[in-house]
Amino acid sequence: MVIDKNKVVTLHYKLQEGSAEGNLIEETHGKDPLVFLYGVGQMIPEFERQLEGKKEGDTFSFGIQSSDAYGEHDSQAIVTIPKDSFVVDGELATDLLEVDKVIPMRDGEGNQLLGTVMEVRETEVLMDFNHPMAGVDLYFTGNIESIREATSSELEHGHVHGEGGHQH
């Protein structure tokens, strides 16, 4: 069986910054593998494209440019927010206002965003709404552990169930 749309893929990978010699970002070897439903938009599209057609037991190594991963770093995604926006029940939520803390927030249209606190000033907070991996070129190496047909329930829900997947 080969990796194709609506297949459940189980694999181990090592993710490094830029190249095989780059800083280690994440690794699944010795831990739980990555298990995902191929072709339904759960993964970076270029990651899936690079895996398409691979078979159980195959190894892989490929790079993904930041523009095809989490995007380029956007300076316009760094904004100042009035400090009083962080008042909860009449008190400033100082536990949220720590540098490098990631805070779930909503934009003017109600969309959820994750913002990272960059700096806490006297009357405002400098926040970065870029993805933490924005501007980073990725390099993956790994191996395909298994491939199987997705169940009708997995296809209906759009994700893997059971071991390595979502538990209902």
Q: Do residue 14 and residue 57 come from a single domain?
A: yes
Q: Do residue 152 and residue 80 come from a single domain?
A: no
| pLDDT above 90 as % of the chain | 83
pLDDT-derived band of residue 163, with 50, 70 and 90 as boundaries?
low
Per-residue pLDDT reduced to its tens digit, 52-76: 999 999 999 999 999 999 999 999 9
| CATH number of 121's domain | 2.40.10.330
Is the model's pLDDT at 25 over the cut of 60?
yes
Q: Do residue 19 and residue 37 come from a single domain?
A: yes
In this structure, the number of other CB atoms found within 10 A of the CB of residue 16 comes to 19
Q: Do residue 56 and residue 39 come from a single domain?
A: yes
pLDDT-derived band of residue 104, with 50, 70 and 90 as boundaries?
very high
pLDDT for position 106: 87
In this structure, the number of other CB atoms found within 10 A of the CB of residue 3 comes to 21
Q: Do residue 79 and residue 33 come from a single domain?
A: no
User: Which amino acid makes up residue 135?
Assistant: G
Which position has the token pair 């606190």? 117
Q: Do residue 119 and residue 150 come from a single domain?
A: no
- Residue 87: which domain range? 75-128
Alpha-carbon gap, residue 97 to 120, rounded angstroms: 7
CA atoms within 13 A on the CB side of 100: 0
In a domain, 62, yes or no: yes
Q: Do residue 66 and residue 79 come from a single domain?
A: no
Element (H, E) at 61: strand 59-64
Q: Do residue 14 and residue 65 come from a single domain?
A: yes
Alpha-carbon gap, residue 134 to 122, rounded angstroms: 28
| CATH number of 34's domain | 3.10.50.40
3-state secondary structure of 164: coil
pLDDT-derived band of residue 149, with 50, 70 and 90 as boundaries?
very high
pTM: 0.81
3-state secondary structure of 155: helix
In a domain, 162, yes or no: no
